[in-house]
A and B are shown apart, each in its own frame.
Chain A
Amino acid sequence: MGKTIAEKIFSKHSKKDVKAGDYILAKLDIVLVNDITGPLSVMEFQKLGDIKVFDKDKIVIICDHFTPNKDIKSAQNVKMLRNFAKNQNIRHFYEPGHVGIEHVMIPELGLAQPGYLIIGADSHTCTYGALNAFSTGVGSTDAGMAMATGDTWFRVPPSFRVEIRGKQKKWISGKDVVLHLIGRIGVEGANYFALEFCGEGLRNLSIDDRFTISNMAIECGGKAGIFNYDEVTEKYLKSLGIDASNYVEADKDANYEKSITIDLSDLDYTVSLPFSPDNTINVSKLEKTYVDQVVIGSCTNGRISDLRVAAEILTNKKVKDGLRVIVLPGSPKVYLEALREGLIEKFIIAGAAVSTPTCGPCLGGHMGILAEDEVCVSTTNRNFIGRMGHPKSKVILASPAVAAASAITGYITSPEEVM
């Protein structure tokens, strides 16, 4: 029997011939924590005694959730991480001025590469599957212990094959693809599975579309969302100066327990209504749904192409009176690109607030908290009860194009309606 991409990556990292279902210890290429999960990881690590981390260059600490710090506790947490990074000589430690959202920054820094095995104490660590890596979210104890040993335990997951066909119409993005997928299979449709994306339609999905899709693999329970390596990945990695000859392909006779086909040409603008990412509907079938706030950003859709789409739609237009629009570039690099391209100016002229990179509003952390009964259309990844603030507020998930169009009208709108 042939092997899936997941089985191959785990075989290489455990130096064993593994198959789905095996419990193994596997070596890690990157261990990631943030300002919420990192303090717990470090506390556990320090209980092991006066020891050094396994590799000071393979641990990444990105203070992105509550930063710039929203309160004393979050400032204390970052202070603790800062001291830890200094004492352990950790190279990849980032906070405001240099910090972006971890899942936007890590690819930019060239830290995620094809064939890598990456864990992060953040559920959206699955984002790097877009680059043909096996990357997955874990808890703080996992990350803390891995900082010491450089490995951790895994159950090798079975795989779920997602074949992409066709070509999408203008304004349809990776977000529509992944919301459509989650709507079709449900929030636990891929629980414990590694999703593997393949097919001739992949060539129509940009690297940023792929980041969005892999990012939300967790929202249908996926342990990872891995893309086949192709010329799109190669071009992106080359732009970062990365030689990606270690990419991994599945064997032709690999075993997939489930499979699904998505034809991009069938897709329409898709949104997820409260309170579950699988509660999806096409915008064309939605009753007029008014919103109080629009958020464009996050680890799902805070990349330069997302901001370009939003700016294109908002150019020479005004944000609807009474609406709050918050744009959050995903990293300093994205911010600078947006500034140089004139996108930031377009946002401000249209009437949007532009924030420094932070996860802030996505998880109801800070900068854009919702009051009782308020509704927000957001390019983020979760619309759980109370996700963005008051337990009686609501979040509707959408692509940057739909979010920007909705900013103009004040209700959930397709980009075609305003362009």
Chain B
Amino acid sequence: MILEGAARVFGNNIDTDLIIAARYLAETNEVELGKNLFKDLRPNFVNEMNKGDIIVAGNNFGCGSSREHAPLAIKGAGISAVIANSFARIFFRNAINVGLPIFVTSENLSSIEEGDMLSINASEGILLNKTKNKTYKFDPYPEFLLNLVQIGGLFNFTKNRLKEV
């Protein structure tokens, strides 16, 4: 899986309220949710970004609520992937379950600037900053998660299991 897009750079501890505020949570459609992505943090974000853009963040991205609306809003807005130094546990789990590709790297991403063109090779665990010609490594998914991601998330995983019974 190769994912390409411009970098959208965020800091540490980006919480789920910042990703999608509670006042939008009566909505369940991911495209509708995507229209209010990062509304309180960067009010023009969805107008500034393009389909395929990649979120680059620091530590503890997605901390806070269990709201699956957060990864859905990111997906619904057209973001192709999130790469960060660490994710909050429930956000990580939700992203895997809904099929939003997310990657954890221990490398320092601070030289990546807003708008840099990025390319992610998910199976090899390489992030390339095409603008600055610099590469970063990340750990590919462990086997269990790779299986979950490859079959398209928890829904397909469950559907297959129910068929087996």
Task: Tell me the A residues contacting B by CB distance below 8 Å.
Answer: 23, 36-37, 39-40, 43-44, 47-48, 51, 65-66, 71, 73-74, 77, 120-123, 125, 137-142, 145, 148-149, 153, 187-188, 191-192, 218, 221, 223, 276, 363-365, 382, 384-387, 391
Contact = CB atoms under 8 A, between A and B. Distances in A.
B40 interface: yes
B66 A139 contact: yes
B64 A382 contact: yes
Given A23-B142, A153-B148, A385-B17, A141 B98 contact: yes
Interface of B: 13, 15, 17-18, 21-23, 25-28, 40-41, 59-60, 63-69, 71-72, 86, 88-90, 93-94, 97-98, 142, 144-145, 148, 153-155, 157-159, 161-162
Contact of A142 (B13, B23, B154): B154
A386 B94 CA distance: 23
25 contacts: A36-B25, A36-B26, A37-B67, A39-B28, A65-B25, A73-B26, A121-B68, A123-B64, A138-B90, A139-B71, A139-B93, A139-B98, A141-B98, A141-B154, A142-B97, A149-B162, A187-B60, A188-B60, A188-B88, A223-B89, A364-B23, A382-B15, A385-B17, A385-B18, A385-B41
A39 B29 CA distance: 11
A164 B3 CA distance: 48
Given A74-B26, A221-B60, A148 B90 contact: no
Contact of B155 (A141, A191, A385, A391): A141
A148 B158 contact: yes
Contact of A145 (B67, B89, B154): B154
Nearest to B17: A384
B40 A385 contact: yes
Nearest 6 CB-CB pairs, A to B?
A73-B26, A139-B94, A139-B68, A23-B144, A123-B66, A391-B40
Nearest to A141: B97
Contacts of B15: 382, 384-385
Given A36-B25, A141-B154, A192 B89 contact: yes
A76 B61 CA distance: 31
A66 B27 CA distance: 12
Contacts of A51: 162
A71 B24 CA distance: 12
Contacts of A192: 89
B140 to A, nearest CB: 15
Contacts of A221: 60, 63, 88-89
Nearest to A122: B66
A386 B21 contact: yes
Contacts of B63: 187-188, 221
